[in-house]
Amino acid sequence: MRLLPLLLVILVASVGAVEVIKPVAVELPKPIPPPKIPPPIEKPSKLKITPRFKHLRLKPGDSESFDVKIRNPTDKDVMIEPRVVSFREAIDESWISFDKDVFTLRAKDSATVRITVSIPSDAEKGFYSCQIAFTNDSGGIYVNAIHLSVEVYIPPSVKISPRWISDFVEAGRTYEYKVKVKNKGEKTFSINPKVVQPEYSIEGEWLSDREISVISPSTVPPNSEVEVKIVVNVPSDVTGYVRGTVDLDIDDPGLDEWNRRVELNLNVYSVPKEPFVKVVKLENASKLTVKVSSDIKVPIPMFETKGEFEVNIFSPSGELKLRPKVIEKLVVTTGYSFSPPWEETEGIYKVVSTTKTEIYEIENPENGEWRIEVMPKGCFGFSLEVEIE
């Protein structure tokens, strides 16, 4: 093979020079056998097959059968010979059986082939697939075939709840989250929690085992529930979203790596240390009205917010001790027809929100600079209205 270029070089070098070259022994390449392509069928007998695709989800040891209807619309008889044609991650041929081996399907006639898929009890979890061909008609692909896909799954014995923790947290504070691990199975499983970080870069800041600690029992016994505590020390210098992942590493074969993890998604906020201040200048006003309300629209839902705030009003002479008029506003649903159809709440009163408004009225206010201070306590914000008459 290596001698061939050498011969060509000699021949090229010889062009122009009238020289007779003696024949040289050359090792020629061995002929490559032509690829094995299934012989094209001139007129394949195209059968009507239903279904063309079948997906099954089975446990190890399970078995399921389904029927495939084959109709021969052609004018000639066709030999039906069901068999498994495998691909990568293929279904083992031994898992599949047919109620008919070889038979002739008469022209314009129909037949049903029952296919049974039996998963061995030691089969591994995963996705498997194959084609089941009914005739030899092919032109690279089998013309009369169906695609069979099987997911072998092992139902988990362990349930982790919650698997996602989303919260609003304050920078520099410590939070504890409780995760319940319930074992409905008959076997004890081990728990080896560890804080993991994504292998590749994902947007946002990720907490490590410096910020997250996990307090957990080492096992979850059969038919019982244990509690895992995840303690998060939110760094004092972070803002926005921070995330963290705790892999409980429970050795239940039914759990995948991703569904034995607890994901933390924390929105860090900073609470103002000083009150909000509004200064108003009054001159010969007959009345000053100040309205402070927690009834504001925020883009994020407010859970567990009390809607409280502290209001202090200072006249030019000093702080005033005033008793406000308080208005509490409730939004109540009744399961009326505007509710989504999946909420079957007919006839039930539900308070969906409570907001508070404080109104301070000062008759004949003193001339000069007035100072209104509002300190939010347990609310994300407030509205402030100042009316001068």
Positions touching another protein (CB under 8 A) are 159, 161-162, 164-167, 177, 180, 182, 225, 265, 297, 301, 303-304, 331, 333, 335, 338-348, 350, 352-353
Minimum CB distance to another protein smaller for 87 or for 349: 349
Q: Compute the least distance from the CB of residue 83 to another protein, in Å.
A: 35
Minimum CB distance to another protein smaller for 326 or for 351: 351
Q: Compute the least distance from the CB of residue 297 to another protein, in Å.
A: 7
Minimum CB distance to another protein smaller for 66 or for 177: 177
Q: Closest Cα to residue 232, out of 245, 249, 247?
A: 245
**Run of H or E including 8:** helix 3-14
Q: Compute the least distance from the CB of residue 182 to another protein, in Å.
A: 6
Q: Compute the least distance from the CB of residue 158 to another protein, in Å.
A: 12
Peptide bond into 73 cis (omega under 30): no
Q: What's the rounded Cα separation, in Å, for the pair 31 and 181? A: 65
Q: Which two tokens stand for residue 285?
A: 């006003």
Cβ atoms of 243 and 204 within 8 Å: the answer is: yes
Q: What's the rounded Cα separation, in Å, for the pair 190 and 169? A: 31
Q: Compute the least distance from the CB of residue 249 to another protein, in Å.
A: 20
Cβ atoms of 84 and 138 within 8 Å: the answer is: no
Q: What's the rounded Cα separation, in Å, for the pair 334 and 349? A: 5
Minimum CB distance to another protein smaller for 287 or for 350: 350
Minimum CB distance to another protein smaller for 123 or for 212: 212
Minimum CB distance to another protein smaller for 89 or for 343: 343
Q: Compute the least distance from the CB of residue 227 to another protein, in Å.
A: 10
Long-range contacts of the stretch 301-306 (C-beta < 8 A, 24+): 302/379, 302/380, 305/378, 305/379, 305/380, 306/377, 306/378, 306/379
Minimum CB distance to another protein smaller for 127 or for 164: 164
Q: Which two tokens stand for residue 10?
A: 């000699």
Q: Compute the least distance from the CB of residue 354 to another protein, in Å.
A: 9
Cβ atoms of 176 and 270 within 8 Å: the answer is: no
Q: What's the rounded Cα separation, in Å, for the pair 312 and 306? A: 19
Q: What's the rounded Cα separation, in Å, for the pair 9 and 15? A: 10
